[in-house]
């Protein structure tokens, strides 16, 4: 089939400033398996320039696809733009099958199918295997009922007729198949790197860059997290093969910067260490940036020299709050002292730290903001990122916040950089003032500025200067937009009225595989099992599995997943 993958233009600041762009990994991840299945695949990255919906249609028209596959990694705030693009395509090309995928549609499929008649199919959960099954079924005219992880229209109306119909009919009610199983062997699905021109993608100050995933998911259970449930189980790629792929991207395509899309790449120390060692053995001068948890950094204090040697330049640490009660409430399962120590350790090993914190989880007051400011300054991170609490319907936090008022009803602004929930104690103007004061206080401290000038690592000095340049553009842009562009409403709907009822029961988007157990539990089970033969059998089943690292004699996954 002739398939067009479309990355719609995203309005958020992360897409528009800086002018640099990262490749859309989600679409490339489904592009690779589709190419291998024999389809003709092309990527239209409308986020790059960015293109208007009409320009997308013109480009699509030139390729004349049979199927348009649309999705964006910034999926909630990208939704309005994705819908504008798909509506334009439907009008211009009535026969094209329009398929929509990603995190937001995985959960909001009922509302999307009801409101957007141009969408033929929604793919729920990870897309690699499902997209291949779906394209094959569409090509052969097979029914979609047997494909797990899709939502489709039972009896698609003739398109032109559908546009003329005032409402939906019973036969137009969508059908959802059961969730697709999680992909166990991530190495079996290759990324379709040939779909992009690497020269068009850069990061870290105009260095050729890619986004990659060593792992998917996270074993923790933070109540606001919109990602962990989507991937359902933490899994990782085979460390040596993954390191080889990064080295190949450097040697064949001149890639210099690797941005990890992982929620938590360091969840398994043995697996992460094996990857670092394999990458060091490849002897490629890559710059690695990503996000992880502060407690993993503290756990890995003794192997941080390996991080540095492999090229790790910066880790974003999701600290979220400096208040222990809030950390407990959002189930962050972390402590202030660990956050502080992780920043110290990273600095000691020549790695930059970016502390991400979230405002608006609680009804904060001036006193809370003042305390946050003092604490963050005392943590002494190299960079900070302030975000606004943004509830996703499929998280437990949504249930907690369901009765709060929404002040921002443009979903395109639900990008973590706009206040979307009202707070009783403070008007939005005072909150953004505090956020900007905190950002300025941390980034413009003499200590921070001195590091930009005098950091012993020239590469990191350059990167910090780039970050400040971006900040100089973002800062006035955000203030200007707050004052003149972002319309907020005073008496908005409650969160539940705006987005629907809590959906945390459906948080796990994929059908889970049997849970794997950590080594310690394995040993315990073997020790306690009275029947020696059964215990031995149990052990041999686990050690024969793909997650058992024979060299280390240990399971490489699932350490915190019981
Ligand atoms: C790398 C990254 C970026 C990069 C850009 C990435 C890019 N070019 O796509 C940068 C730094 C520019 C960025 C910016 C932003 N980002 Co960002 N970003 C990420 C990050 C770290 C990884 C995304 C990724 O590549 N995931 C891996 C791929 C494989 O997953 P995926 O895209 O979901 O795709 C899979 C499935 O969803 C499905 N699928 C996806 N699309 C489609 C389409 C079809 C047709 C099908 C069948 C299947 C399918 O199949 C894929 C393979 O299984 C995530 C955090 C995370 N851990 O995921 C945040 C994340 C996606 N970003 C987020 C946000 C909010 C933003 C910004 C809005 C921030 C801002 N205010 O500026 C902007 C948006 C603009 C943008 N371009 O995305 C949020 C989105 C929350 C949400 N649910 O809406 C996330 C989840 C972080 C978070 N805080 O939770 N981001
Ligand atoms: S540690 Fe990060 S990725 Fe993991 S559940 Fe918490 S917020 Fe989500």
The predicted pLDDT at position 49 comes to 86
**Mean pLDDT (whole number) for 507-525:** 64
212 and 346 share one domain? yes
- Whose tokens are 């959802």? That residue is 176
DSSP state of 514: P
Q: What percent of the chain has pLDDT over 90?
A: 75
Q: Is the pLDDT of residue 531 over 70?
A: no
336 and 475 share one domain? yes
Identify the band that residue 558 occupies on the pLDDT scale cut at 50, 70 and 90. Answer: very low
User: CATH no. for residue 363?
Assistant: 3.80.30.20
Protein residue with least CA distance to atom 77, ligand 1? 15
Query: Would you call 170 exposed, middle or buried from its count of C-beta atoms within 10 A (0-12, 13-18, 19+)?
Result: exposed
User: CATH no. for residue 42?
Assistant: 3.40.50.280
- pLDDT tens across 185-232, in order? 999 999 999 999 999 999 999 999 999 999 999 999 999 999 999 999
463 and 528 share one domain? no
- pLDDT tens across 462-494, in order? 999 999 999 988 888 888 888 888 889 988 999
Asked if the structure places residue 330 within a domain, the reply is yes
542 and 492 share one domain? no
471 and 537 share one domain? no
Asked if the structure places residue 263 within a domain, the reply is yes
Residue 263 in contact with ligand 2 by CB distance below 6 A: yes
Asked if the structure places residue 23 within a domain, the reply is yes
87 and 231 share one domain? no
Point out the ligand 1 atom lying closest to the alpha carbon of residue 183: 53
The rounded Å distance from CA 225 to ligand 2 centre is: 6
Residue 318 in contact with ligand 2 by CB distance below 6 A: yes
Q: Where are the alpha helices (DSSP H) in 2-121?
A: 13-16, 25-36, 53-63, 79-92, 103-107, 109-115
- pLDDT tens across 502-514, in order? 999 999 999 975 5
Asked if the structure places residue 184 within a domain, the reply is no
Exposure string of 459-475, with b = 16+ CB inside 10 Å and e = fewer, is: ebeebbebbeebeeebe
Asked if the structure places residue 181 within a domain, the reply is no
Given a contact cutoff of 8 angstroms between Cβ atoms, the answer to whether 183 and 231 are in contact is: no
Measure the CA dihedral 398/403/407/412, to 10°. 30
Domain extent at residue 27: 2-176
Residue 124 in contact with ligand 2 by CB distance below 6 A: no
Identify the band that residue 515 occupies on the pLDDT scale cut at 50, 70 and 90. Answer: very low
Asked if the structure places residue 182 within a domain, the reply is no
- pLDDT tens across 336-393, in order? 889 999 999 999 999 999 999 999 887 888 998 999 999 999 999 999 999 999 999 9
Pocket test for ligand 2, best of 264, 391, 507 (most atoms within 8 A of CB): 264
Q: Domain ends where: 176, 200, 228?
A: 176
Q: What is the 3-state secondary structure (H, E, C) of 122-165?
A: EECCCCHHHHHHHHHHHHHCCCCCCCCCEEEECCCCCHHHHHHC
526 and 425 share one domain? no
**Ligand with an atom nearest the CA of residue 397:** 2
Protein residue with least CA distance to atom 1, ligand 2? 220
Mean pLDDT of the chain: 89
198 and 129 share one domain? no
Residue 263 in contact with ligand 1 by CB distance below 6 A: yes
Closest CA to 357 of 367, 374, 128, 345: 374
Residue 69 in contact with ligand 1 by CB distance below 6 A: yes
The rounded Å distance from CA 49 to ligand 1 centre is: 18
Protein residue with least CA distance to atom 89, ligand 1? 416
Residue 12 in contact with ligand 1 by CB distance below 6 A: yes
- pLDDT tens across 427-459, in order? 999 999 999 999 999 999 999 999 999 999 999
Pocket test for ligand 2, best of 228, 293, 299, 416 (most atoms within 8 A of CB): 228
Q: Is the pLDDT of residue 89 over 90?
A: yes
Asked if the structure places residue 185 within a domain, the reply is no
Rg (CA), the chain: 24
Point out the ligand 1 atom lying closest to the alpha carbon of residue 77: 84
Given a contact cutoff of 8 angstroms between Cβ atoms, the answer to whether 548 and 516 are in contact is: no
Exposure string of 420-456, with b = 16+ CB inside 10 Å and e = fewer, is: bbbbeebebeebbebbeebbeebbeeeebeebbeebe
Q: What CA–CA distance (Å, rounded) separates 45 from 66?
A: 18
Q: What CA–CA distance (Å, rounded) separates 41 from 391?
A: 35
Point out the ligand 2 atom lying closest to the alpha carbon of residue 219: 4
Residue 404 in tokens:
């709060």
How many domains in the chain? 3
Protein residue with least CA distance to atom 78, ligand 1? 74
- pLDDT tens across 264-322, in order? 999 999 999 999 999 999 999 999 999 999 999 999 999 999 999 999 999 999 887 77
State the DSSP H helix or E strand holding residue 98, giving kind and residue range, or none if neither: strand 97-101
Point out the ligand 2 atom lying closest to the alpha carbon of residue 264: 3
Q: Domain ends where: 141, 176, 211?
A: 176
Asked if the structure places residue 529 within a domain, the reply is yes
210 and 334 share one domain? yes
Residue 77 in contact with ligand 1 by CB distance below 6 A: yes
Q: What CA–CA distance (Å, rounded) separates 168 from 467?
A: 50
Q: Is the pLDDT of residue 159 over 60?
A: no
Point out the ligand 2 atom lying closest to the alpha carbon of residue 220: 5
Given a contact cutoff of 8 angstroms between Cβ atoms, the answer to whether 479 and 436 are in contact is: yes
The rounded Å distance from CA 281 to ligand 1 centre is: 30
Protein residue with least CA distance to atom 37, ligand 1? 102
207 and 118 share one domain? no
248 and 385 share one domain? yes
Q: Tell me whether strands 40-45 and 2-7 are parallel, antiparallel or unpaired.
A: parallel
Q: Domain ends where: 176, 202, 222?
A: 176
Asked whether the whole model's pTM tops 0.85, one would answer: yes
- Residues near 537 by beta carbon (within 8 Å), at least 6 away in sequence: none
Residue 10 in contact with ligand 1 by CB distance below 6 A: yes
Identify the band that residue 7 occupies on the pLDDT scale cut at 50, 70 and 90. Answer: very high
326 phi/psi in degrees, rounded to 5: -65, -40
130 and 235 share one domain? no
HSE-CB for 454 with a 13 A CA cutoff: 5
């Amino acid at each position: 089939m002739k398939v067009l993958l479309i990355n719609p233009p995203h309005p958020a600041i992360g897409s528009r400033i800086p002018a640099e762009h990262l490749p859309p990994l989600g679409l490339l991840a489904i592009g690779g398996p589709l190419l291998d299945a024999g389809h003709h695949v092309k990527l239209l990255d409308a986020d790059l320039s960015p293109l208007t919906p009409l320009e997308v249609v013109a480009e699509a028209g030139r390729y004349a696809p049979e199927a348009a596959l649309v999705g964006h990694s910034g999926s909630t705030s990208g939704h309005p733009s994705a819908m504008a693009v798909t509506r334009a395509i439907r009008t211009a090309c009535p026969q094209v099958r329009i398929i929509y995928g990603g995190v937001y549609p995985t959960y909001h499929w009922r509302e999307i199918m009801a409101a957007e008649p141009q969408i033929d199919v929604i793919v729920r959960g990870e897309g690699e295997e499902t997209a291949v099954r779906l394209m094959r079924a569409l090509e052969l005219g097979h029914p979609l009922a047997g494909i797990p992880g899709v939502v489709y229209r039972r009896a698609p109306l003739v398109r032109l007729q559908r546009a003329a119909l005032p409402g939906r009919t019973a036969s137009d009610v969508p059908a959802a198949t059961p969730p697709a199983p999680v992909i166990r062997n991530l190495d079996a699905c290759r990324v379709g790197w040939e779909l992009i021109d690497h020269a068009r993608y850069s990061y870290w100050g105009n260095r050729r860059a890619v986004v990659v995933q060593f792992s998917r998911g996270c074993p923790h259970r933070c109540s606001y997290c919109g990602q962990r449930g989507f991937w359902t189980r933490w899994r990782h790629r085979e460390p040596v093969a993954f390191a080889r792929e990064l080295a190949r991207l450097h040697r064949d395509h001149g890639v210099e910067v690797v941005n990890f899309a992982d929620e938590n790449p360091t969840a398994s120390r043995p697996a992460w260490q094996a990857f670092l060692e394999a990458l060091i053995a490849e002897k490629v001068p890559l710059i690695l940036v990503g996000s992880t948890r502060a407690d993993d950094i503290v756990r890995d204090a003794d192997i941080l020299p390996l991080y540095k040697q492999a090229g790790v330049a910066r880790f974003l640490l999701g600290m979220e709050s400096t208040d222990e009660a809030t950390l407990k409430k959002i189930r962050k399962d972390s402590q202030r002292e660990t956050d502080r120590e992780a920043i110290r350790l990273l600095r000691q090993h020549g790695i930059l730290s970016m502390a991400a914190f979230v405002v608006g989880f609680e009804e904060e007051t001036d006193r809370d903001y003042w305390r946050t400011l003092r604490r963050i300054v005392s943590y002494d991170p190299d960079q900070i990122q302030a975000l606004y609490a943004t509830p996703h319907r499929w998280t437990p936090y949504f249930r907690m916040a369901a009765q709060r008022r929404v002040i921002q009803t443009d979903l395109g602004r639900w990008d973590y950089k706009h206040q979307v929930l009202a707070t009783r104690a403070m008007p939005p103007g005072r909150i953004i003032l505090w956020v900007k004061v905190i950002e300025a206080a941390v980034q413009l401290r003499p200590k921070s500025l001195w590091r930009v000038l005098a950091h012993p690592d020239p590469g990191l000095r350059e990167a910090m200067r780039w970050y400040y340049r971006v900040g100089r553009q973002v800062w006035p842009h955000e203030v200007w937009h707050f004052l003149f562009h972002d319309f907020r409403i005073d008496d908005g709907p409650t969160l539940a009225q705006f987005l629907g009822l809590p959906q945390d029961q459906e948080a796990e988007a994929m059908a889970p595989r049997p849970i794997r157990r950590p080594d310690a539990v394995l040993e315990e089970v073997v020790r306690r099992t009275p029947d020696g033969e059964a215990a031995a059998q149990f052990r041999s089943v686990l050690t024969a599995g793909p997650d058992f690292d024979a060299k280390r004699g240990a399971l490489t996954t699932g350490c915190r997943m019981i």
